[in-house]
Amino acid sequence: MKKVIHWFRRDLRVSDNVALSEAAKRAETVVPVFIFEDAFRTGPDVGAARLAFLLQSVESLRKNLAELGRPLIIRCGKSEEILPRLCQESGAQAVFANKRYEPYAQRRDERLMGVLNASGYGFELFKDAVVWEETEILNQMGKPYTVFTPYSKAWKVKPVPAPRPKLKTFNIQHSTFNVQSDPLPKSPDEIGIPLTQTIPAGGERAALELLRQFVAGR
């Protein structure tokens, strides 16, 4: 494929990212996209701490992608409306994303698959957030385990897949990315959701540093 959109969702990282890795391997150009969904501002579980952590994580992702020569395209609104339009604007043939397992997210992805396919664009989802999915470890009857111990034993005998290799720097002509981005608020305060507490630093680099400290210290 000439060009693929990688749609970042809960995978705001460039390390060991399956869909991003596949896009980089299978397409000549990757268009990284993050959609600031309406639900991030108006959903029933919206909170200042969650929103602040998300905004920090997106900013960290933007910086990491910039170092690789890939600008992050940001749009605000509904993914079902934005992604087909972005495919047309950018000339992408398909959208790649990592799987979500929440029922509402699966229903949304089914609708999006129909919308994109009807417009002539592909939509591929990849296993990333879990080591094994529910259909990959089954008992001798070919059904999911209902007792933990035999499930645990079956899990442990399967070889765990190796992490995906780190993305390489990729220089892109500026004209390739003439797609405009929407501005993001820098903090929840800008959209009327004041942050009144201290939260951990968001972003891939902060997470990797916490992991390094944990492994070194314990």
Amino acid 175: pLDDT: 43
What is the residue-level pLDDT of the chain in tens, covering all 218 positions?
899 999 999 999 999 999 999 999 999 999 999 999 988 887 777 889 999 999 999 999 999 999 998 899 999 999 999 999 999 999 999 999 999 999 999 999 999 999 999 999 999 999 999 999 989 999 999 999 999 999 999 999 999 999 998 787 654 544 455 788 999 998 889 888 889 999 999 999 999 999 999 999 87
Residues 90, 104: Cα–Cα separation, whole Å: 28
Q: Name which of 41, 31, 2 is nearest 181 in CA terms.
A: 31
Task: For residue 14, give the amino acid letter.
Answer: V
- Write the DSSP symbol of residue 163: P
